[in-house]
Structure 1
Amino acid sequence: MPSQFGGKPSGVARVAFSLLERLVAVGGHDYILRSAWRAEQLPPGLQHGVELLHIERPRVMIADMVWQAIVMPAICRKAKADLVWNVDTFGAARGGRARVTTVHDLFYRHVDTLGWRARMTMALCYGTILRGSTRVVAISKGTRDELATTFPSVANRLAVITNDATVAASSGATLPREIPERYVLMVGNATPNKNFAAAVAALSLLQANGSAPALVHVGMDDSSMIANAMAAASPPPRLIQLKGIDDARLAALYAHAECLIVPSLSEGFCLPIIEAQALGCPVIVSNQSVMPEVGGEGAIYFDPSDPNSLAVCLTELMADPTGRAALIKRGFHNRSRFSWEASARAYAALFTELLA
């Protein structure tokens, strides 16, 4: 996982570590982690369970991918590594007897603010790593279908292995309510595909009627997308922004929220949906992309291009305690479809198959 910053638990890193811990427990293979993370930065379960090959994170990913294609065969021979698992699409297209690449999404196809050079570069990176992969794992059926359409040559090499929640349901069990007023929650860094402006607009509609809860955003807003939406809203809802919080605090925010709002236009999986469901937080989610696949029957769906649609869903949910309780129950049931243990066993079986 050379693309991941050491010591900074991105979504990809958290997924990779969750899987790797279970893979070590499943057994059958030995694992070498090539990463910018140092041993003391790893989760406790991995500090002694894997061999660590520490590297510095490269500055230019496309250049590093070329370099990896050159040196990875020799690295594998020296380490006696039979298979290379790229935990994202910025890994090695050569090396070992087989290569597995996990694709989390094709975000560059859905971000209008990316220039044509960036889009071409990303398409080149994806195409290179996918052509060199013996098998390609998509984290949802929707991502699999998009891969098959965008890169037809990999269609017969695709498999689907889903993720699970990276925030444990027990994390917020003993924490008190942090925000005393009623609030709805958004989780994730503000990027164009997240469409967080739709949530601000919907809360603004409720604010005009005097019935809006506060809007709590957990994540970064480096491009001021939420700030700009707030500036354009009249009247603006009350916004509370939090970042850099730990799992226990995030779990408590889920547990005490009126609901989680996911207005995304596109996602590869969307972990917050099942994290919220696991913690008894109702979910109101976009009806686009993979959201219905992941949310199942445990979510309320709305049109992300229509803030009024979201406002109506919020109003009805907050006015119906019985319906809210039923939605929470369906969320618990839906969340049970996902398991890190099952996903790890699926990866282990795939590795065994490719090395047979």
Structure 2
Amino acid sequence: MAIDALIAERHPLAEGLRACLAVPKGTTVGFPLTEIQTVEVGRASGYAWEQIELPLFARGNVVLNLCSLAPILGARNVTCVHDAHIWLVPHNYSRVFRIAYRVLQPLSIRLSQRWVTVSQCSSDELVACGAADRPSDAITYNGADHASQWSPEQSRLDAAKLPARYVFALGSRSPNKNMGLIYTLADRLAPMGIGVIIAGGSNSRIFGQAEDNLSANVIHVGRVSDDDLALLFRGAQCFLFPSLHEGFGLPAVEAMHLGCAVVASNAPAMPEVLGEAAVLCDPHNTEAWVAAVERLCCDADWRQKLIELGRARAATYAWRTSALKLLPLLSDVAAGR
């Protein structure tokens, strides 16, 4: 959408750019585009579509791939790879997914004329684990400005049924999300009158299985809409993000953007992305998390300061900024440079 907007305003970096969004047959595109035409391609789906039908359709044109994989034959690629999780936390993923990515991801990077990633941490890790044969050509941080379009007033959740004071966590059942810490924390927060709300689902085809723990102080709301997230962020004392590893950590930045204080893990790449605008804790130290939440709930001035720092930090992450880094790379590949 950011690239589409730059084309529409005739930005110098988008001069002469003609683009289409190639999608598998039957795909519904749920966002507006004015300059980029959506084109249904082929009959397959998944890897077969990506590796066979997409490059056949491209016929030598530049292909921008924003989700970690690219066609390995017959395409001039600019590719965004988000993290090195398949090597660093392999137990997060199913066996089939691991095999596919360990073959295709290094080839995607090696055969892409340009590749980018979403943090310096991810670039360094992908090189260190051998997935990338060279450092990334640019760091294109994720944006958070899309969260401005979320409306808590449009949420399907009943705010009156939420706890008077609660902390909020969002995560799949992937072991990397470290949700076990949240359940342990919930029992410690109960005597303080602080509830815990957890949102999120899982995809067993991708993520490994992780059993949920039980706590009477936890409310599960399952999969939620963006508007639901806005409501939950708005009412929370703070957002908890205890991941053991992230390539960027978008939910934490979305929380900051919407004015919710953040307590996050100090694991990669959280220090780079969140800086001094969040409380960073060891993801294995429950006492540190209890202390951080207790202080945020009791010290209104400190909480407000953290909210202001978070808003300012989140404002530095915009999709337009990343699009402006991508456009010169697309031009270079198109020109054969």
When normalised by structure 1's length, the TM-score is: 0.81
* Alpha-carbon distance in 2 for matches of 1:114, 1:43: 27
Q: Which of 243, 255, 270 is the matching residue for 1:264?
A: 243
Q: Which residue of 1 is the match for residue 171 of structure 2?
A: 188
* Alpha-carbon distance in 1 for matches of 2:166, 2:196: 6
- Verify the 8 A CA contact 2:41 2:57 in the aligned structure 1: no
Q: Which residue of 2 is the match for residue 42 of structure 1?
A: 29
* Alpha-carbon distance in 2 for matches of 1:34, 1:250: 30
1:201-251 superposed Cα distances (whole Å, 9 cap, x missing partner): 1221222xx115221112115679786322xxxxx2422222343222211
Q: Which residue of 2 is the match for residue 198 of structure 1?
A: 181
For 1:228, give the aligned amino acid: D
Q: Which residue of 2 is the match for residue 8 of structure 1?
A: none
* Alpha-carbon distance in 1 for matches of 2:41, 2:100: 26
1:216 aligns with 2:197: yes
* Alpha-carbon distance in 1 for matches of 2:96, 2:24: 27
The alignment yields a C-alpha RMSD, in angstroms, of 2.8
Q: Which of 233, 240, 261 is the matching residue for 2:219?
A: 240
Q: Which residue of 2 is the match for residue 76 of structure 1?
A: 58
1:109-159 superposed Cα distances (whole Å, 9 cap, x missing partner): 214255777544421121221221111111111111111112375324532
- Verify the 8 A CA contact 1:83 1:95 in the aligned structure 2: no
Displacement after TM superposition at 1:51 (Å): 3.4
* Alpha-carbon distance in 2 for matches of 1:316, 1:272: 22
* Alpha-carbon distance in 1 for matches of 2:319, 2:49: 30
For 1:101, give the aligned amino acid: T
186 and 54 in structure 1: CA distance in 2 versus 1, 3 angstrom threshold? farther
1:32-81 superposed Cα distances (whole Å, 9 cap, x missing partner): 22223757x3234227732313445635x3x656x52xx6554223xxx5
Displacement after TM superposition at 1:168 (Å): 2.2
- Verify the 8 A CA contact 1:282 1:327 in the aligned structure 2: yes
1:99 aligns with 2:87: no
Q: Which residue of 1 is the match for residue 137 of structure 2?
A: 158
Count, aligned residues: 322
| Aligned partner of residue 309 in structure 1, secondary structure | helix
- Verify the 8 A CA contact 2:176 2:244 in the aligned structure 1: yes
* Alpha-carbon distance in 1 for matches of 2:217, 2:293: 16
31 and 257 in structure 1: CA distance in 2 versus 1, 3 angstrom threshold? same
- Where structure 1 has 5 or more consecutive residues not aligned to the other structure, the ranges are 1-17, 231-235
For 1:53, give the aligned amino acid: E
Q: Which residue of 2 is the match for residue 251 of structure 1?
A: 230
| Aligned partner of residue 105 in structure 2, secondary structure | helix
| Aligned partner of residue 46 in structure 1, secondary structure | coil
Q: Which residue of 1 is the match for residue 67 of structure 2?
A: 88
Displacement after TM superposition at 1:322 (Å): 0.6
For 2:29, give the aligned amino acid: L
- Verify the 8 A CA contact 2:115 2:136 in the aligned structure 1: yes
What are the equivalent positions in structure 2 for 1:304-323 lying under 5 Å apart?
304-323=283-302
For 1:130, give the aligned amino acid: I
